[in-house]
Structure 1
Amino acid sequence: MRARTRVRVRQWDPPSTKRVLDLTLGSALLALAAPLLAGGALALAARRPPGGVLTRSPRVGLNGHVFVLRSLHTRRLRLDLLSRLPYVVRGDLSLVGPEPLAPDGEDGPRIEGGTCTPDSGASPAARHWRQELKPGLIGLAQVRSRSGMPWDEPALLDQHYAEHHGVGLDLAILASAAHASLRGAVRGLARHGKARLSDTDHRLSGYSTAEEVDSVSTD
């Protein structure tokens, strides 16, 4: 008798709603930002910065997976943040999540809210729950830590996100980050416009400084 061979069919797990959001929105943002990222990379290459065009730093991802995070070596127009979008599409990062930390024993800075700060380390318990969540491009700490309130410390905000994370909270964080970026860009344009204005811009045509001196002398 011929022995029957059993063929195991591997079950396909459908992607989660969070992963679908990362793929769709992450891919769209990457396509929109690609020309800006290319221009920024060319500008950096022309300047030849000492550290190179890209910064490289190991980070711990989901389930303790270590990957090298590469970012453009600039913070202009948040290009450093946008340059990490390929990691969202690839699956190493999520659009929203806790800050990606450096592995244990790694020296050097870690990126916190878009700025490099010394690695203060995290407790083993904190690192444990962090490894159960995929780190994010942005997080609750990035959009709330600017308030300066003691309960808005990055570590506490990341832990709060880990306890209450969901698609609704992700969308709220993304909307808050987009609003803050748009407001910052508008304020920057307004300051730039005010700096270029002078008193002569509001004078009528034909007005001269001599007329102003004559009027003062007659008074």
Structure 2
Amino acid sequence: MPGHPYDRPKRLLDVLVAGVALVVLSPVLLAVALVVAVGLGRPVLFRQTRPGLHGQLFELRKFRTMKPMGPGRVTDGDRLTGLGRWLRATSLDELPTLWNVLRGDMSLVGPRPLLVRYLDRYTPEQARRHEVRPGVTGLAQVRGRNSLSWEEKFAYDVRYVDTRCLRLDLQILAETVVRVLRREGVSADGHATAPEFLGTGRSAGHLDSASQA
């Protein structure tokens, strides 16, 4: 299947922006790492395997926002600290994903990388979200983020796959800045971030998916 004509310039843009951002933001990365080390301890990075382009697995890197599981800390809501909530609200926890962008695991813009166990829960249409690299931000994130249902998020993901272009990417990046400053859509009602996706048409239950948003 031939690639989309925008994919090659999109990748060049990703490398350029991520490389410059990692250099320019290195003092911020260091400062956040120190804050996490003091506030949450080590390791400062959260690492988890996620599916990327065509479902190929890669190791996602973010700053850690939760305490380890233990007595009284069973759910993600229990483990998510005040510091962690602030890092998520400001999206500072996402800064290490720029390394994933530079490596080619991710793109600046695209569907968010979710959990591996979701792969067999998607409908064929929803699974099309893996036709592009996952993104640090995406169309679903600027249209409501975790205030959207899973089905709404996936519909936006597929719309992005079908309509991706430079203009749309620049629009999403600009809207992301506004969303981050306003701290909109960080959490779904009653959840640390969002309920677990169990499949379209099934009850989402009570489980949080704070480590995956």
> What's the TM-score once normalised by structure 1's chain length?
0.62
Equivalent runs, 1:1-219 vs 2, <5 Å: 16-49=8-41, 52-74=43-65, 75-76=86-87, 77-104=90-117, 121-127=121-127, 129-145=128-144, 153-183=152-182
**Which residue of structure 2 aligns with residue 210 of structure 1?**
none
Q: Which amino acid aligns with 1:90?
A: R
Range moving further from structure 2, 142-151 or 21-30: 142-151
Structure (1 or 2) with the larger CA radius of gyration: 1
**What is the alpha-carbon distance in structure 2 between the residues aligned to residue 150 and residue 41 of structure 1?**
32
Structure 2 distance, partners of 1:135, 1:167, is 16
How far, CA to CA, are the matches of 2:138 and 2:118 in structure 1? 24
Q: How many angstroms apart in 1 are the aligned matches of 2:121 and 2:25?
A: 32
**8 A Cα contact 1:62 1:132, kept in partner:** yes
CA distance in 1, matches of 2:93, 2:159: 26
- Structure-2-length-normalised TM-score: 0.63
Letter in 2 for 1:83: P
Q: CA deviation at 1:29?
A: 1.8
Q: Size of the alignment, in residue pairs?
A: 155
In 1, Cα distance between equivalents of 2:108 and 2:91: 15
CA separation of 1:146 and 1:95: change in aligned 2, threshold 3 A: closer
Which has the larger share of helix? Answer: 1
CA drift of 1:148 comes to 5.5
Distance 1:96 1:150 in 2: 20
CA distance in 1, matches of 2:150, 2:49: 29
The one of the two structures with greater contact order (alpha-carbon pairs below 8 A, sep at least 6) is 2
Question: What percentage of aligned pairs have identical amino acids?
Answer: 39
Determine if contact 1:144/1:152 at 8 Å carries over to the other structure.
no
Question: Residue type matched to 1:65 in 2?
Answer: Q
TM superposition shift of 1:32: 2.2
Please say if residues 58 and 66 of structure 1, whose CA atoms lie closer than 8 Å, have aligned partners that are also in contact.
yes
Cα drift, residue 152 of structure 1: 8.7
